[in-house]
Structure 1
Amino acid sequence: MSQHRGIWRRQVHLFTLPYRLLLASPCVGFLPDFWSRVLTLSWDSHTHQYITERAILNVTLETLSGLKKHHGNHDKEESRLGRGFWRAVGEVVKSNAATDFRSSTRSDPVYHFDSEHIESATVMLRRFWTHTVLSVRAKEYQSARHSLGQLFHSLQDFYSHSNWVEMGQSSIYLHLLQPEEPAVPVAKGDFSPYCNYTKESRGRLMRRKRRSREPLSPDRFNLYSSLSSLSGGLTIFTTNSDIHRVSTIVEDNTAADKVTLLHVESHKNLMSVHTFRVDSSVKSVTLHVSGTMTECILTSPSDQSQSLLNEEGPLAVIQQFQGLYRISLFPPLQPGQWKLQAKSDGHLTFSVIGDSGVDFLYYFAIVTNETHPGLARVDGNPTAGVPAFLVVVVTGLGSDIEASFSHATLLGAEGESLQQVKLNSSSSSIYSLEELVGLVDPVPRFPFCIRLSGQDSRGNKLERVSTEMVEPTHIQIQVLSLPDLVPGQSAVVNFEIQNHGAARNFSLTADDDCGYLHMKISKITL
């Protein structure tokens, strides 16, 4: 493994963003997360993650209840929040925990209300508040969630690391975020800060840049095809006459409560066979197939078959476009394992989506035994050929839908099994989303997706598949220091590059949309 260190220098300019903030419920005190409890032998504790999740969830449920004439069932409302809500919460929690894992902040007392840095920590807290509100007003929501996580961390640390509780105080210290409120003398207590790990939500923002007209290359769509394949989408080529009808494919994928039951590709000219499982929580199922099929046979769990291209039948109806098929299963759906057989002269992509609230989020993490022991989330994709922990969070479960999950299977691009990962619960709390953790040893060197397997309360099998393909990396770039960015001043960012693959030459470039970055290193060998 080779590594290299470099420096980016950025000139920061002043800019103004309008703002707003959602302030969470007050915190009383806390200890580490599951992995921190294991590494420090501290049990029966609350965590940054637990407090943050419950605060956002409680405020959200109270807001939803306030919009209705009658208060609804909180358990039912929580189960309907869905994947998108928990992905956003995960971004806040990730930023919260990163304060304890990032080298530039984990030992700085200003971020944790340590070493009697009460005044400077309060200034930092108000800066997070301002940045969050400005970002929301500017509709920079990802930036807002990042600063909101930092704000929550410091705010939670105040009540845990200072002597506020020992002073007999049981109320919120309003002066922290409201300077006009009276200040109270507060000192640092003798507490050791430990924090939890985060879960992921991973998203991609694609920006298209206009360029001058030039001769069109026959390979001009290859990039988009690769991106859609890795992200679990479809590349659709259609005609002007079909474009309105094809738009139903987009509606299928963007509707609420859609889960993936199968996502595979096939490069074989022979008949390919794929299976997917329908459980009792799935209300409708739609299949999307891109490519040109010469034969397609659908078989139900009761072993009833229908040749979709040649006949009408009792199982499904098919719509054909140029290079695209949309197959809708007839209700009532038969629970169990369905089989799809297809033959083509070229490449096929299969995507099976269902209507269900039960889904999952995931991320990869590694153990850290530094200042704050625990599981640290891996930024970006996991490193191929080395061990990593897979952390899974199931969403959509409630009093009316119960399920347990035992393992995850890493699947290759054509649906082949690469590795099975046994999952264990990382938390016994019923008040926070349960996290399932398993060791991936090693991370595959090829792209893969994740199939989560378990059973419902009646013992019936239940499966969900991740939408995107995970692309393992051999290169890691880690930021070693992240200084405060002050308008009108330069800032130095130290970073480290590690190559876990074969030695080769690299060219390094860096840019931003304002032209502030200046880089000293151009070429290196690792």
Structure 2
Amino acid sequence: MNPMQVVTVLVIISLPDLTKSFQPDYNILSDGVSFTHLMITETAILRKTAEVCRDIAADEGRDFTLNIDGSLTVSKVQRACSGTPSSTVPVSAVSFQNALSTIHDSNTRVDTKIKSALTAENHFDNEEFVAGRNIITEGVFAVKFNVLRGNFEVGRKTLGRICHTLQDFYSHSDWVELNNNKPYSALIIPSQPLTNLAGQDVPTCSSCTEDVCRDNILPDILERKLLTSGYFEFFSKVKPAGKSN
């Protein structure tokens, strides 16, 4: 296995920790700039890859001088991760970028392929929290399964798809409005129960006819910290009473 594959494997099999990079505020406008799926995914992978390489360097008694912050780039991480003394094949920045591109493309296809784009659980819409979580946890299993068998390309594609669904949880649900500032670990750990789900029979939002609804979550929902998400005509012709678009 060459160094590029080693880095990719380490990134993928550490997926349960990867969500530390998906802070909810990445889905909120910041100074007029919206963080896209591509930006979120690349930031997370570069940061996690750098952390893995830093830990390997520490185990081998080597210095690791790269600052793991918002200035990470493919070339910076590639150079920092190419310093393993045992490496006989140099890690190519082009290969690293190609691996990222595969993950990006798969992430994007969740929104561009009709079947996945119009399936509520892929986006945590229509309060499909259980089905959405299943996509993520089953995807994590599939990624690890393919990595162990050397199917790295398949693993990257699966990683891209489940990253999209994971990201959509934070942007399509009221997790941010509930003032949560940590990742929802139950989304990636199937043994943890999904708690405080509002349910389809619980009114969660006031009426809104605008394209973008703001501050329309009912105070009782915020006080009780109940999870809800928007409903869309594509997924449900009859929106339950008291739900948001």
Partner residue in 2 for 1:152 = 163
Once the 2 structures are TM-superposed, how far is the Cα of residue 21 of structure 1 from its aligned partner? 2.5
Once the 2 structures are TM-superposed, how far is the Cα of residue 66 of structure 1 from its aligned partner? 2.0
The 5-angstrom pairing of residues 275-286 of structure 1 reads none
SS at match of 2:229: coil
SS at match of 1:113: coil
Once the 2 structures are TM-superposed, how far is the Cα of residue 27 of structure 1 from its aligned partner? 3.0
Partner residue in 2 for 1:21 = 13
> Is it true that 1:121 corresponds to 2:121 in the alignment?
no
Distance 1:113 1:73, change over 3 A: same
Instruction: Give distance in 2, aligned partners of 1:190 and 1:139.
Output: 39
The 5-angstrom pairing of residues 196-207 of structure 1 reads none
Q: Which of 35, 54, 57 in structure 2 is aligned with 1:65?
A: 54
Q: Does structure 2 retain, via aligned residues, the 8 Å contact 1:27–1:51? A: no
String of CA shifts for 1:450-496, please: whole Å, max 9, x gaps.
Answer: xxxxxxxxxxxxxxxxxxxxxxxxxxxxxxxxxxxxxxxxxxxxxxx
Partner residue in 2 for 1:54 = 43
Once the 2 structures are TM-superposed, how far is the Cα of residue 29 of structure 1 from its aligned partner? 4.0
Instruction: Give distance in 2, aligned partners of 1:43 and 1:168.
Output: 21
Instruction: Give distance in 1, aligned partners of 2:149 and 2:63.
Output: 34
Output the amino acid matched with 1:189: S
Instruction: Give distance in 2, aligned partners of 1:126 and 1:79.
Output: 29
Once the 2 structures are TM-superposed, how far is the Cα of residue 43 of structure 1 from its aligned partner? 4.3
String of CA shifts for 1:295-327, please: whole Å, max 9, x gaps.
Answer: xxxxxxxxxxxxxxxxxxxxxxxxxxxxxxxxx
SS at match of 2:116: coil
Once the 2 structures are TM-superposed, how far is the Cα of residue 166 of structure 1 from its aligned partner? 1.4
SS at match of 1:67: helix
The 5-angstrom pairing of residues 205-224 of structure 1 reads none
State the Cα RMSD in Å.
2.7
Partner residue in 1 for 2:153 = 142
Q: Which of 97, 105, 110 in structure 1 is aligned with 2:121?
A: 110
String of CA shifts for 1:207-266, please: whole Å, max 9, x gaps.
Answer: xxxxxxxxxxxxxxxxxxxxxxxxxxxxxxxxxxxxxxxxxxxxxxxxxxxxxxxxxxxx
Output the amino acid matched with 2:95: G
Once the 2 structures are TM-superposed, how far is the Cα of residue 125 of structure 1 from its aligned partner? 1.6
Distance 1:182 1:129, change over 3 A: same
Q: Which of 13, 16, 33 in structure 2 is aligned with 1:44?
A: 33
Partner residue in 2 for 1:168 = 179
Question: Percent identity over the alignment?
Answer: 26
Output the amino acid matched with 1:177: I
Q: Does structure 1 retain, via aligned residues, the 8 Å contact 2:122–2:132? A: yes
Q: Does structure 2 retain, via aligned residues, the 8 Å contact 1:161–1:191? A: no
Output the amino acid matched with 1:78: V
Partner residue in 1 for 2:229 = 189
Once the 2 structures are TM-superposed, how far is the Cα of residue 73 of structure 1 from its aligned partner? 2.8
SS at match of 1:142: helix
SS at match of 1:105: helix
Q: Which has the larger Rg?
A: 1
Instruction: Give distance in 1, aligned partners of 2:184 and 2:143.
Output: 20
Once the 2 structures are TM-superposed, how far is the Cα of residue 180 of structure 1 from its aligned partner? 2.3
Instruction: Give distance in 1, aligned partners of 2:104 and 2:231.
Output: 22
In the alignment of these two chains, the number of paired residues is: 166
Distance 1:156 1:170, change over 3 A: same
Output the amino acid matched with 1:27: Q
The 5-angstrom pairing of residues 17-416 of structure 1 reads 21-23=13-15, 24=18, 25-30=21-26, 43-68=32-57, 69-74=62-67, 77-78=76-77, 80=79, 82-186=93-197, 187-190=227-230
Instruction: Give distance in 2, aligned partners of 1:79 and 1:151.
Output: 24
Once the 2 structures are TM-superposed, how far is the Cα of residue 129 of structure 1 from its aligned partner? 1.3
More helix by proportion, 1 or 2?
2
Instruction: List gaps (5 residues or longer) in structure 2.
Output: 1-11, 80-91, 198-226, 235-245
Instruction: Give distance in 1, aligned partners of 2:32 and 2:231.
Output: 16
Once the 2 structures are TM-superposed, how far is the Cα of residue 110 of structure 1 from its aligned partner? 0.8
User: What is the TM-score of this pair, normalised by structure 2?
Assistant: 0.61
Once the 2 structures are TM-superposed, how far is the Cα of residue 22 of structure 1 from its aligned partner? 3.2
